[in-house]
Amino acid sequence: MDIKELGFQVKIHREQLNISQKDLAEKIGQGTNRSNIAHLEQGRKLPYDLKILELICNSINLPKPIWQDFINVQSVNRLNFEKSLSELSGENATTSNLDNIIIKVIDDEIDHLFTANLTPEQSYDCLNSVIVYYGFTPLSKYFFQRYLSKDSFKSQKSFETSVVKFQKEAIRLFSSINEAYITLNLSDKTKFDQLLEPIKAKNTDNYTVRTEWDKIDKIPNEELPYLGYIAASEVKKEEKERKELSKFLLEIALKKERQEFKMEDCGIKKRKRMDSLLRKFNSTIENGLFSPLFDPDVETLRREAEYISPEKNENYELMEKTQKTAYHNLSNYLSADHLDVYVATSMRNYADFVSVNQFVETLFSHSDLRQLKLRYFNPTQSWIEDRVAKGLVEALMLKRADICIYMAQKEDTFGKDSEASVTLGQGKPVIVYVPKLFDRNSAIDSEIFGRMERNELINEIKKIDENIDDIDELEDIEALHSTLLHKKLDRLNKNDLVRITKNHWADFDIEGEFEKRLKNGDIAIMKKWLKEVINDKTQIVPDNQLTNLKDILVASTMRFERRAKVFREVHPLALQVILSSGVLNGILVVRSINSCAQLVNALLENKLELELQVDEKNYKLIEKNTLSTIRVISTHKLISNSFKTFYKREN
């Protein structure tokens, strides 16, 4: 019986007793933990303390004949060595086809390797002698020197630690552990170094010695919506029709304000014409004039009227000037000496433009990045009218850029998803930035709350309201997170809420939330209030809208918390195959500009903090700070063999 079969027996006997791994470990005590049981059941390794193995087996009434051979010290040393050797080579190391005399020789050789205090050269020779028994490719000196050393054989645990070091690098470069083991066992030092080049730390002097790149003429936030138009010259040609539609919308707004509006007062012919013009000019009003759902608020109608037809000639001139500036910027992006970072986003309304621009400018002025003189593509500062040309520009940017930053918004587009997917397929890193609710003064950080366990959330809630007694046992973590946010917001004064709203209105598209969640009469009031908040003209929240505002902040926050989890764990983009190598490349999810800046810096220096996690199905390489999975190798044998076959490399 091997470790895997023993693990299976332990698992089924434990499950028959209807006890969890954690509860079993607590019941046994005496230094036993859940990992001991989990690793045993997965067939990964035996506990180093054989007394723990005996305690586990006895506690679940596992018959002694099944496990007694596993508490023989020499046999256990060999089994643990074989498990580590299997992890190193990606192939099953077993003595099942060897006779007892040879197995005894192997046991003695393994004992010698770990107890004789050998020099590195002696350890190298001894290890290569042992692995002959298992039919594995001997290790090259370069492989041994990089991943193994004299310290690797101080104990079985030291050997296991060295194997993990190898696996962490193997997963970054190869589609299977076995492919990594075979490919890296080279006698040619130059080729060995070339294979490892992509994971070597990089010096950033080549960034800091660059000249400053100041060729982009910054367009202020208030002028960015002009880049959502078609060319100003085309708008001018359509001036008569645009003014006609704009006037119609303003008339509706005035009648609605006076509560005199009735759509049936408009003739069918006029309604058909205005409906056609709304479609022609890509109106943002969702429902047409013939829909019973057509009921936009006053503020939306007035803004739409302004969007359809700028009221003054100066506005046409400003539109034309802004588009020319952005087109000039585009020419500089296209001819830039370098392109380090591409920002993938979609912009539908004013909030989107402001959110993206503020994020980009704040990120690249961050102290961790400023000195690197990075060239980055800010999509809010670029414009070209032709759709095909725009697609070609984006394709070129993606080809040139070393990193893609994907801004998660309330809704994402096929274009933006495609940009991220293409980048991952090229083997480049993709960072997904997901906004969060954060206010240092109020100790609110939805990312931290989102990482809490159920009992931690309950404790935080009770710190605010110790008398609360309505926490249902069926409430999940998301419901408790939402409750905690509500409790936090309820403690704030109106000035605090105004500050939080101002800091989050663009990322959360709070105006859009007003349209979705408020009654028609309240929408115009809150849109006007938000405009005053943005322009620092008020510190007061209307009393009758306090609850609505808090509900919107919490609902928007929880939507982004769900999105962050989806991007980390289940989104179709979460892992993409690098087409040239078959390696699975994963996205990195960040929740703040500060963490994004630190991550960009770590990527440029090639110094990510990585941790290996292994379960029954996969090897996962996790970036420690963001808890994102950046590489995966499947333990499924057929999948592993298929990738090895169809992604062969030339050494």
Tokens of 458: 């309950």
| The pLDDT of residue 108 | 95
Instruction: Report the distance separating Cα 422 and Cα 377, nearest Å.
Output: 17
Tokens of 110: 């393994």
> Reduced to 3 states, what is the DSSP secondary structure of residue 538?
coil
Yes or no: say if 26 and 55 are a contact pair by the CB < 8 Å rule: no
Tell me: the pLDDT tens digits for 302-336?
Answer: 888 887 876 655 677 888 899 999 999 999 999 99
Residue in this structure with the two tokens 């040619």, named with its chain if needed: 188
Residue in this structure with the two tokens 């693990």, named with its chain if needed: 7
| The pLDDT of residue 600 | 97
* Domain chopping of the chain, boundaries: 221-314, 438-569
Tokens of 341: 């970072």
Burial 101-129 (b: 16+ CB within 10 A, else e): eebeebbebbeebbeeebebeebbebbee
| The pLDDT of residue 314 | 66
Tell me: the pLDDT tens digits for 109-149?
Answer: 999 999 999 999 999 999 999 999 999 989 999 999 999 98
Yes or no: say if 430 and 404 are a contact pair by the CB < 8 Å rule: yes
Tell me: the pLDDT tens digits for 517-545?
Answer: 988 778 888 999 999 999 999 888 888 99
Yes or no: say if 548 and 518 are a contact pair by the CB < 8 Å rule: yes
Q: How far is CA 188 from CA 18, 44, 144, 184, 185, in A?
A: 55, 33, 13, 10, 9
Yes or no: say if 111 and 77 are a contact pair by the CB < 8 Å rule: yes
Which helix (H) or strand (E) element contains residue 40? helix 34-41
Which helix (H) or strand (E) element contains residue 192? helix 189-196
Instruction: Report the distance separating Cα 509 and Cα 351, nearest Å.
Output: 6
Instruction: List per-block mean pLDDT (blocks of 10 residues) for the chain, which spans 651 residues.
Output: 86 93 90 88 82 91 89 85 93 88 94 94 95 93 91 93 96 92 90 94 94 94 84 77 91 90 89 92 85 87 82 75 95 95 89 94 96 95 90 93 92 82 93 96 95 92 82 85 95 93 95 88 88 90 92 96 89 84 92 97 96 90 94 88 75 47
Give the predicted TM-score (pTM) of the model: 0.83
Instruction: Report the distance separating Cα 351 and Cα 610, nearest Å.
Output: 36
Which one-letter DSSP state was computed for residue 289?
A: T
Which helix (H) or strand (E) element contains residue 630? strand 628-634
| Neighbouring-strand partners of residue 577 | 584
Our measurement of the distance from residue 110's CA atom to the centroid of its chain's CA atoms, rounded to an integer in Å, reads 43
Any alpha helices (H) in 60-155, and if so which ranges? 64-67, 73-89, 100-115, 120-132, 141-147
